[in-house]
Amino acid sequence: MSDATVTTPAPGHEPFDAVDIIRTKRDRQRLSSGQIDWVIDAYTRGVVAEEQMSALAMAIFLNGMSRGEIERWTGAMIASGERLDYASLGVPTADKHSTGGVGDKITLPLAPLVAAFGVAVPQLSGRGLGHTGGTLDKLESIPGWRAGLSNAEVHDQLASVGAVVCAAGDGLAPADKKLYALRDVTSTVESIPLIASSIMSKKIAEGTGALVLDVKVGSGAFMKDLDTARELARTMVDLGADAGVTTVALLTDMATPLGLTAGNALEVRESVEVLAGGGPSDVVDLTVALAVEMLAAAGRPTGEDEVRAALADGRAMDRWRRMIAAQGGDVDAPLPTARATEQVVADADGVLARLDAYGVGVAAWRLGAGRARREDPVQAAAGVELHAKPGDVVTAGQPILTLHTDTPERFARAYEALEGAWEVAPPGTAVARGPVVLDRIH
């Protein structure tokens, strides 16, 4: 990746003007390296106003960026803060990033599973927003567990346990943190250059040696179709390669929720089932597929059978217990349960033909599992439990979903989100179940 180190100019002597940079991208011209370095640095310092960066983000959203521009933009965001280094651990490091989905609890079993094979996992994760869940919100449903660790604590836990899942520190790509919040309120989130640079600036700055990307595709994901998902995956893989980080992407299905739960404590409970050698097959299959990729990218290639064995024989569970305890979590404490539940039942005999991830995700969000604004609280016990997946035979009156919440007045809005989100086909209808992994980009 290009060296985007910026020298802060003296007050009143800025080398560029924000209006000129906005005009350049508005007119579909390429931004120079100097313009990019300056505008990221100046925005972080408060010299470029929020409305100016909003205009530039919209110009990028509408007109795109070249590979060179995206590389430089990513480098400038990395240069806005610190860059971590785990070379002193003496073991390879690997991380995974998901672009977000419904029921996506894969990080929870994956990090300890990979650590069980001697590869350290520095997993810096985020919180949920809207219909997609957040890993930190899920883990915070475990009594005592804390997300905020210092860099020294992260390093020590990696050395002693081999895995850590925590919040990114304020010093890591601060420009991205500021820009991400702006994109969220200016309808510029779904821009491939801005998504790719946002994700990769944090992941490269965190210091991992290898990175596996889980790019979700389908109704419950940001990327609704394979072509767009491939473009995003290719952009991020190229950014990783340019920065010297071995990077691979898997495109995975998000038309239907992953597993049988969407919500915080509900997903932790399901993740523990996977670590105990059970759990839904789609969650297990994706966890294993990502673990195999992470181990190979870190230079520790391991066969799928051996990875599955580590779930069955307790090696991954042992790492999980140590990882949670190291961050203050009580692994044996009961998880929160909702004060109120209601069931959605099948309206006819037949085969469940469709269960839309987006509808389920919005329902879980409205029940209290997610947030509309970053400062909103979440309910640990809220969410949606699935009793059937597409292809399953159902009978009239059989529960399809159970809704969980501490605030029963939320049920009505959750039911609205589920209108048209599921469908029962006539008995005997063949409903194909596709693979979880749709493609691989490297």
Measure the CA–CA gap between 253 and 219, rounded to whole angstroms: 9
Enumerate the β-bridge partners of residue 109: none
Given the residues 80, 98, 198, 219, select the one marked as catalytic: 198
Is 305 catalytic? The answer is no
For 274, residues 6+ apart whose C-beta sits below 8 A from its C-beta are: 109, 280, 283, 284, 287, 311
Determine the Cα–Cα distance for residues 406 and 410; give it in Å rounded to an integer. Answer: 9
Catalytic residue among 72, 131, 177, 202: 202
Phi, psi (deg, nearest 5) at residue 341: -135, 150
- Select which of 95, 176, 214, 242 is catalytic: 176
Q: What angle do CA 99, 104, 107 make, to 5 degrees?
A: 85
Order of strands across the sheet with 393-394?
393-394, 350-355, 422-425
Task: Please confirm, yes or no, whether 183 is among the known catalytic residues.
Answer: yes
Give the integer Cα–Cα distance in Å for 256 and 436: 10
Active site (annotated) includes residue 97? yes
Residue 389 bears catalytic tag: no
Instruction: Give CA–CA dist 329/299, Å, rounded.
Output: 31
Among candidate residues 97, 216, 230, 308, the one labeled active-site is 97
Residue 125 CA: distances (Å) to CA of 10, 96, 138, 284: 36, 10, 11, 20
Pair 133, 264: CB distance under 8 Å? yes
Is 440 assigned a catalytic role?
no
Note the Cα 410 to chain centre separation in Å.
Answer: 26
* Ordered alpha helix ranges (H), 92-173: 107-115, 135-139, 151-160
Exactly one of 96, 131, 177, 183 is catalytic; which is it?
Answer: 183
Sign for the CA dihedral angle at 58, 63, 66, 69 comes to: negative
Q: Confirm if 105 and 165 have CB atoms less than 8 A apart.
A: no
Q: How far apart are CA 97 and CA 168, in angstroms?
A: 13
Q: How far apart are CA 383 and CA 365, in angstroms?
A: 7
Tokens standing for 278? 């059970």
Across 233-276, the runs of DSSP E, i.e. the strands, are: 246-253, 261-263
Residues marked as catalytic: 97, 176, 183, 198, 202
